[in-house]
Amino acid sequence: MSAIGRWRVVGQSVPGASHVRAAMPNQDAWRCLPASAEGAQLIVAVSDGHGSARSFRSHIGSARAVDTAAWVLQDLLDGQPDPLNLSAIKRTAEERLPHEIVRHWEETIAQDLAERPFTAEELELVAQKQSPKSVAEIEANPRLAYGATLLVVLVTPSFILYLQLGDGDILTVSENGEVARPMPEDKRLFANQTTSLCIPDAWRDFRIRFQTLTGELPALILLSTDGYANSFVNEEAFIKVGSDIWDILRNEGLDVVKANLEGWLNQASTAGSGDDITLALLCRTELLPTPEQLAARQLAADEAAFAAASAAASAVASAAQAALALAEPEESAEEAPSAPAAETPSGAQKLWYDDSAAQASD
């Protein structure tokens, strides 16, 4: 078994450009446990509320989904008598986790509905935007109003667990920048069709992968709602995001990505899908540059920039001198010769700054 060190997580969720124009809330959500977002063991969950007229409380559904998933997975870890018995953990995860996540999510939704029953205005909007039939469907299955997808990744010193229900994307990136999808494809997901927490027997639709930490390990794991992938022209362009982000992480550090992430996602939504976008990144800290390495790289970059600026200034000065020489008139043959320049007495000190000498010494 190959154990790895610590992980760090950064993430961001932005409202879609079209949702901002329509004054709609961000229906995505994400959570990291523990909240410090750093450690040898981390849980990251991402959820996308459906946002349709029928799912008018999906922003609540997605928030409850990520909270539920994080705590259910933490309970799984806390309840293992032997944390090194990976076969037992794998069996428990596959047999119990989907049931437990769905059951607890449904309980939180029932609690919200008991505290805030659907209003006549909410149901009237559904009838206007869709149909009276949709209202009847919601009354028969109130969870439809809270519908959401779910992506979860659990990293530990001995295994990684991936779970997915519905659309969205999980990517892994190796140390050399190779990008892969760790989850099996669900061919039922196309266009706007997706599996969801709100449908009956939702636990049956979970996809799960349990990866023991042997062989080549991911350097970076990305979880994103479908608004991100839908902002790219094709699958190839989206997959390249994984290697691009990894290049920035290992060359410029995590803080640069963290500072720019919101702007990148807003730009993607505005130029692409118009949908809400959430992206969470888990990266192995031992592969990231240290503060000392970043400082040395910045110093080298500053020195290179200064040298380039100095060379450019010298070139401009040389060009100006050459142009000035060409512009000076030639001496007339009848013009009296000028007096010879006075020689500097031997041992006398020069009293001017010799720029050419200074440049030569530089």
User: pLDDT by residue (tens digit) across 255-307?
Assistant: 999 999 999 999 999 999 999 999 999 999 999 987 777 777 766 666 677 77
pTM of the model as a whole: 0.81
In sequence order, what are the beta bridge partners of 32? Answer: 44
Residue with tokens 């969801």: 196
In whole angstroms, give the CA distance from residue 172 to residue 163: 14
211 occurs within a structural domain? yes
309 occurs within a structural domain? no
330 occurs within a structural domain? no
- The reported pLDDT for the residue numbered 348 is 40
Domain that holds residue 270: 7-293
In whole angstroms, give the CA distance from residue 58 to residue 64: 10
- The reported pLDDT for the residue numbered 321 is 78
In whole angstroms, give the CA distance from residue 126 to residue 313: 67
336 occurs within a structural domain? no
Residue with tokens 């997975």: 73
- The reported pLDDT for the residue numbered 330 is 54
Q: Which two tokens stand for residue 54?
A: 């029928």
22 occurs within a structural domain? yes
In whole angstroms, give the CA distance from residue 117 to residue 134: 17
CB hemisphere CA count around 116 (13 angstroms): 9
Domain of 197, CATH number, reads 3.60.40.10
In the chain, the number of structural domains is 1
- The reported pLDDT for the residue numbered 303 is 64
Pairing verdict, β 159-165 and 150-155: antiparallel
Query: Which residues contact residue 183 at a Cβ distance below 8 angstroms, ignoring those fewer than 6 apart?
Result: 162, 164, 170, 207, 209
- The reported pLDDT for the residue numbered 300 is 66
Q: Is there a cis peptide before residue 34, judged by omega within 30 degrees of 0?
A: yes
- The reported pLDDT for the residue numbered 186 is 87
In whole angstroms, give the CA distance from residue 261 to residue 75: 31
Q: Which amino acid is at 126?
A: V
187 occurs within a structural domain? yes
Q: Which segments in the chain show pLDDT lower than 70?
A: 1-4, 298-303, 328-362
Pairing verdict, β 169-173 and 179-180: antiparallel
129 occurs within a structural domain? yes
- For 326-337, what is each residue's pLDDT tens digit? 776 655 444 445
285 occurs within a structural domain? yes
